Amino acid sequence: MKEFGWDLEKYEKEGKFVFLEHSPEQVKKVLVEGGGIVEAIIEKIKAKRIVIDSITSFSLLYQDELTKKEAALSLFELINKWDCTAILTSQSDTRDDEAISAALEFEVDGIIVLYHVKKKGIRTRAIEILKMRGTKIPEKTFKLDITSKGIVINTNEVISFT
């Protein structure tokens, strides 16, 4: 992250950033406890944003779809209680829109899909906004580059994977 000018160590020292590594089982425990250590940290530093990377492994802890949905709703309730904006990452091996759970899609305000697809031996990165509540979104998939200056989205270059 330092390549992009993000000095997270500085923000940690200033009490503005906390990196907490939790196993999926520990995240499940946070739900059972109603917040636990995560809530204590959020209150201590007055956090307004939280990132969970990745929600995919957490969802694997639940056997059936109903239990998975209930756990996701409990997690969203906690995040709302903390009054935080959350970014949740999820991984999928498919480009199928159905890969996103209907329960999650209904609950979240936005869904952004990042692609890294190989076509004719060349990998291409792209971005697509599937949902952004209250915002008009483009119905296109755009080329995305990760550069020394950060993420660059080229809205003039529409990507097709077919």
Helix (H) or strand (E) holding 102: helix 102-107
- Percent of the chain exceeding pLDDT 70 equals 93
**pLDDT for the residue 145:** 92
Task: Give 58-106 pLDDT, tens digit per residue.
Answer: 777 888 888 888 888 888 899 999 999 999 888 776 545 444 555 567 7
Question: 35: pLDDT confidence band, cut at 50, 70 and 90?
Answer: confident
* Burial letters 116-142, b for 16+ CB under 10 A, else e: eeeeeeeebbbbbbeeeeeeeeeeebb
Rounded distance between C-alpha atoms, residue 154 and residue 142, angstroms: 6
Question: Measured in Å, how far apart are the chain's first and last C-alpha atoms?
Answer: 33
Pairing of strands 122-132, 110-119: antiparallel
Q: What is the pTM of this model?
A: 0.75
Q: Which CATH class is domain 1-108?
A: alpha beta
> Residue ranges of the domains in the chain?
1-108, 109-162
Rounded distance between C-alpha atoms, residue 78 and residue 74, angstroms: 6
